[in-house]
Structure 1
């Protein structure tokens, strides 16, 4: 692998220095079987640090097989702003990888995106489940696909605290009973990172999908039904059964001051305060970075408890889109859509691909394999609702959906007013969309 030199985002962030020798294998991935010598491609995404290093390995292989030179721009949380500025200036990157489908839709509506070509469309149809294609489609035109996905329907627990005979709860009633039993024994079983409002929206989305169903979930995400709908109240009250103050270390006030990473450490750290924490597969990364616990031994997970006869998976992810109509752009997008490209990052860890042709054996451990299998085989997956909403409503710290969930955690008795206020914000946000 080549050495990479880090440059500020404003000057294109990361420049690949040099080009490694080598020839393409006989079974080159789609998009990497063309000669692009002398051509350049610029990619902008959110990833930095270890994620950036892993993605650069993927880009390395594309360069090696095509002769193209790829420049990577790490925009982090400011990527939407970076893209907006570049578009206004008439110099967008060739490829962008964004986390919010709502941003994909708005960019497509503004004419900023180039539809994916027929070959890439066919590849995605062949290797991805239909729902993943739907999330990249705007008004019947395919503009993107999810390259890196996450399973947001996993509940993690400390094996030492719960004991070797622990059996994960079969459904939501059993989950609430588990929390009550552990609380009655003098513990505070559930760690909640309420300072980060997005963790609370993830809780709601899992419960709402199961209590209201997929069609209602889609309608609420598009604001085709109001937040004052009775289905929302039912889901919130169902969630409230788990959000009892006696179940959480320090009660409601402490949960609202606990950030996501700290909620994980509160379960798996050297001085645990709780036994169970809910969040996505990236909990494993926090455990590895911030505790001495070992995922797969000290830290295990079970799927989000089903409610009634329904089970579900909430997912999020990073969507690849094209902003220029160049052969090198199309080739890179098609390469990233392939199972061969995904497998490079899969083997390095910290990555789940929704591509169903990626071999489960390629994942580095049994825990990740199970999480990936649950996601790829999910019968009723839905994308993170907050990422489907206008950013002002679904992804703004201290406002909108995030704040409403924090308000509910703080005082469930205020639910009617909380939902009324959220509905007013949603009406204004979708009107501006």
Structure 2
């Protein structure tokens, strides 16, 4: 039999296609492909049928941070429990969460930086207790505290999903001390962070107060029991201004427009958290505790300032409660560093990562929450703005402190612990 791929019909200009008759081997291969395709469809249908429900999760992670969380946390959870996690990411998390709650449609689980905002939501009855979903004794009291709300008793309302270490001064080359770090030109300083611009400066003021005045004064100040106009607080602000050169127009202009994660050049210093480890390790850098650099450290200097993203429950569905259990499981591979004391040690990680993990989890190490994250949202936002304005006009510090004093609100929250 002759075979042709194409032939032109006379007078029409169209192509008539002559096709080969399929050979037996071709039919066999086609049959196998159809079987495999059918098996894949059946498997997909079976997996879809096995999905038992879904849970909505609101957080502020994006980019590589979100990808890491999805790959190491969400996907293994979905595979293990057949619960679909609907991730909602937003850089304006506070505003989105408040709007969703006001509309009566909150996410099932939210992950919020710091406990200050969550304390207000717990007082309003927005949060559901996590009692019985995990053992809070696996964490120091500052991470998963029992919070007393008048009329509602004492309950645990949040647990840490992601934690970070602060009170760090990064460097490459000679180890810095209080003398060598006293030149403003040596410091990398970036204040820009979108809607939360200014927070790197609040970290400076907080950490200086922690090292100069100690954890007791620091905790009272974070809880609104020490005035912003107190001498110890004022000294922390002025020390910050002197270290970074507040009022220097060119230096300050660069700081206000430079992102907090911008690269630092050779010979520079950076007061920043553990999330900067990868950047500094690429240039052979290391860190010292800020107590070695801050002028006039007090007798209780050496406590670590820490930060964390906290998971809380707003809609107590079976699926949401299962996600909380999973996040608290010591065997769950959480991103970066975990505060769970029952979690496996950081075997296989480099020396810097092990040191950071030990500082976050080891009993007996004094740790204090990032104070602005522990403050009510309105106070925190005012603090961010005050830092930016202080850098431009340090001579108006009294005005800035008076403004913050008007925003001061007393609260009861465990801020320091571990010591």
* TM beyond 0.5: yes
2:324 matches 1:333:
yes
- Paired residues of 1:98 and 1:319 also in contact (CA < 8 A): yes
Name 2:389's counterpart in structure 1: 407
2:113 matches 1:128:
no
Q: SS at the partner of 2:244?
A: coil
- Paired residues of 1:315 and 1:381 also in contact (CA < 8 A): yes
Aligned residues: 352
Structure with a larger share of its residues in helix: 1
Structure-2-length-normalised TM-score: 0.75
Q: Which runs of 5+ in 2 are unaligned?
A: 1-43, 412-419
Go from structure 1 to structure 2 and tell me whether the alpha carbon gap of 1:238 and 1:54 turns closer, same or farther (over 3 Å shift).
same
> What is the alpha-carbon distance in structure 1 between the residues aligned to residue 369 and residue 81 of structure 2?
34
Please state how far the C-alpha of 1:219 moved relative to its aligned partner.
Answer: 1.9
Please state how far the C-alpha of 1:115 moved relative to its aligned partner.
Answer: 0.4
Q: SS at the partner of 2:142?
A: helix
Go from structure 1 to structure 2 and tell me whether the alpha carbon gap of 1:19 and 1:147 turns closer, same or farther (over 3 Å shift).
farther
Specify which of 19, 42, 45 is matched with residue 59 of structure 2.
45
Name 2:35's counterpart in structure 1: none
Map 1:173-192 to 2 at 5 A. 175=178, 177-180=179-182, 188-192=185-189
- Paired residues of 1:99 and 1:318 also in contact (CA < 8 A): yes
Q: SS at the partner of 1:65?
A: helix
Name 1:303's counterpart in structure 2: 289
Q: SS at the partner of 1:188?
A: helix
> What is the alpha-carbon distance in structure 1 between the residues aligned to residue 83 and residue 253 of structure 2?
54
Name 1:91's counterpart in structure 2: 105
Structure-1-length-normalised TM-score: 0.73
2:260 matches 1:260:
yes
Please state how far the C-alpha of 1:330 moved relative to its aligned partner.
Answer: 1.6
Q: SS at the partner of 1:353?
A: coil
Specify which of 292, 296, 310 is matched with residue 319 of structure 1.
310
Q: SS at the partner of 2:107?
A: coil
Specify which of 142, 147, 150 is matched with residue 137 of structure 1.
147
> What is the alpha-carbon distance in structure 1 between the residues aligned to residue 392 and residue 348 of structure 2?
40
> What is the alpha-carbon distance in structure 1 between the residues aligned to residue 255 and residue 319 of structure 2?
49
**Pairwise CA RMSD of aligned residues?**
3.0
Name 1:422's counterpart in structure 2: 404
Stretches (4+) displaced over 6 A = 18-21
- Paired residues of 1:149 and 1:318 also in contact (CA < 8 A): yes
Name 1:236's counterpart in structure 2: 237
Name 1:204's counterpart in structure 2: 205
- For the pair shown, the structure with the greater C-alpha radius of gyration is 2
Q: Which runs of 5+ in 1 are unaligned?
A: 1-17, 22-35, 160-165, 170-174, 288-293
> What is the alpha-carbon distance in structure 2 between the residues aligned to residue 99 and residue 67 of structure 1?
28
Please state how far the C-alpha of 1:355 moved relative to its aligned partner.
Answer: 1.3
2:45 matches 1:59:
no
- Paired residues of 1:19 and 1:69 also in contact (CA < 8 A): no
Q: SS at the partner of 2:144?
A: helix
- Residue by residue over 1:111-132, the C-alpha shift from the partner in whole angstroms, topping out at 9 and shown as x without a partner, is 1211013241xx221x212221
> What is the alpha-carbon distance in structure 2 between the residues aligned to residue 20 and residue 239 of structure 1?
61
- Paired residues of 2:162 and 2:334 also in contact (CA < 8 A): no
Specify which of 324, 329, 352 is matched with residue 367 of structure 1.
352
Go from structure 1 to structure 2 and tell me whether the alpha carbon gap of 1:83 and 1:404 turns closer, same or farther (over 3 Å shift).
closer
Please state how far the C-alpha of 1:205 moved relative to its aligned partner.
Answer: 0.6
